[in-house]
Amino acid sequence: MRIKTDIDNRELTSGHVLARNSVLNLIGQSTPLLVAIFVIPFLIKGLGTDRFGVLTLAWVVIGYFSLFDLGLGRTLTKLVADKLGVNRVEDIPSLVWTALTLMLLFGMVGSMIIVMLSPWFVEDVLNIPRTLHAETLQAFYLLALSIPVVITTTGLRGILEAHQCFGLVNAIRIPMGIFTFIGPLAMLPFSKSLHLIVAVLIVGRLVSWLVHLLFCLRVVPKLRHGFVFKSSLLKPMLSFGGWMTVSNIVGPLMVYMDRFVIGAVLSVTAVAYYTTPYEVVTKLVVIPTALVGVLFPAFASSLINDKSRAVAIFGRGVNYIFLAVFPFTLLIITLAHEGLGLWLGDEFARKSTVVLQWLAVGVFINSLARLPLTMIQAAGRPDMTAKLHILELPFYLVAIFWLIKAHGIEGVAIAWTARVTIDTLLLFLMAQKLLPECTSYNRRIAVITTIALLALLSGVLIPQLLVVKVLFLIISLPVFMAILWFFMLAAEERGSILNRLKAFRILN
């Protein structure tokens, strides 16, 4: 694989680079989803519902450990992109080594905190069967020790993303994402012990860290010239990273705390009935995530030099997310019961269908929120999103505990969807404040989103006959996509998409 070490700043926000990298990101993030669809039923059968419920918590914890980087992973991406934007590449090595040193130190502190809290968390907070306490505790100890590796990997990946090296990023992400599901499955013939399965996952993380480091040394050759730590960089890093940390703590907490509340109030069995549809439908987020991961450094560069370019990126990003996510959401909501029954059986379908439908609505709305969130943070205002998350948290907590007692796991899904809906509305208003030129995009998206939600509601309310549902989809999807095509996209955007499709057809 050829690695480009010198990047012209003009390439960072060019249309073909952003489009190519978005596709690479989408492939990298969706491939593990396809593997998960086939593997999860075997894991549930092999581990049992209780053990699988604990394993899903381990997956969450591995991802959530990035909070201990105090926002320095995303900070590093922004600062490196800023330097590329003003052609100050000689400043990049000091940025990188200073940030990675801080991340390593914070990771070590995080490891000690988790080790101390694990007994209380496993034995008193989560409603885990006593027979699983010992192996769950050992698994959490192993997870704690992996924190420095996990968070420094986010920093290394951020360096590659700032240089728009998404081919390299996804060359690592794909096998790593697949291994997250295949690793536990491969262990089942030998052991069902949770701590051994988690140990296998951690070995995969170590390999990922090493490969990221090697690629970074090739993309930024000056990193090989020696370690450089600049104390003068600490203040800007910690200032930006501090607010990012608030979002990194509170944001994922609101995303993932629902299953921990279910485990504490109900049972880990209920966690499985909630988490399984959650894990499936939230994989739709790979579409906006693939796009905004590419757009974050592009926003950071264009907001410095070309605000009109930033506005264009914002508008097109919202349009493409809408066009890509809505059809899948309508399919999931309409065929939720049939899909769950075919995949996991009638018991899962009976207990999880309504959960899946509510979460699908929330994921659709939350997908749109990714664009304004990314733009606000790239503009150097992570304090705005952090304050919003702090404000939302207590209301969300009250809503979860109130609705879980009244409606069980379905109530939790309702609370989650209500929270992301309010969050999305406020994020678009914040983005409009920073870039007033986005106002026309916001008005258009408000109208079309309202129509889309009515269509999704229709998918829930239609008669529960498969033939009726299929007929509804055959009629509604083309009609709604035509509305989106002509109402949301400008003539030049439609022409650009058609030209790309023609080029693809010629190549094939």
pLDDT in tens, 314-343: 877 888 888 888 888 888 888 888 888 887
Q: Are residues 175 and 273 in the same domain?
A: no
Regarding whether 321 and 205 lie in a shared domain, the answer is: no
User: Does residue 241 lie in a domain region?
Assistant: no
393 in a structural domain: yes
CA distance 486 to 90: 46
Q: Does 426 share its domain with 463? A: yes
pTM for the model: 0.69
Report residue 101 as tokens: 């040193």
**CB proximity list for 399: less than 8 A, separation 6 or greater:** 415, 418, 419
What is the mean pLDDT of the segment spanning 201-210?
90
C-alpha to C-alpha distance for 146 and 411, rounded to whole angstroms: 34
Clarify whether residues 356 and 426 are in a common domain.
yes
Span 461-479, mean pLDDT?
A: 81
Q: Which of these three, 195, 229, 263, is where a domain ends?
A: 229
- Report which of residues 295 and 414 the model is more confident about: 414
Residues 280 and 191 in one domain: no
Q: Which single residue is written with the structure tokens 């420094």?
A: 152
pLDDT per position as a tens digit, 58-73 = 676 666 665 566 667 7
Q: Is residue 333 part of a domain?
A: yes
Q: Which two structure tokens, joined as six digits, stand for 384? A: 């705005």
**216 in the same domain as 260:** no
- Both 419 and 296 in one domain: the answer is yes
Q: 284 lies in which domain range?
A: 247-508
Helix 409-434 to helix 268-281 angle, to the nearest 10 degrees?
A: 40
Q: What is the pLDDT of residue 214?
A: 92
**Do residues 222 and 287 share a domain?**
no
* 211/337 same-domain check: no
Q: Sort 32 into a burial class: Cβ within 10 Å, 0-12 / 13-18 / 19+.
A: buried
In a domain, 180, yes or no: yes
Is pLDDT of 169 > 80? Answer: yes
Is residue 236 one of the residues assigned to a domain? Answer: no
**pLDDT category of residue 209 using cuts at 50, 70 and 90:** very high
Is the same domain home to 12 and 144?
yes
Is residue 256 in some structural domain? yes
Largest Cα span, the chain: 68
- Claim to verify: residue 205 and residue 309 sit in the same structural domain: no
Q: Do 7 and 138 reside in the same domain of the chain?
A: yes
Give the number of domains in the chain: 2
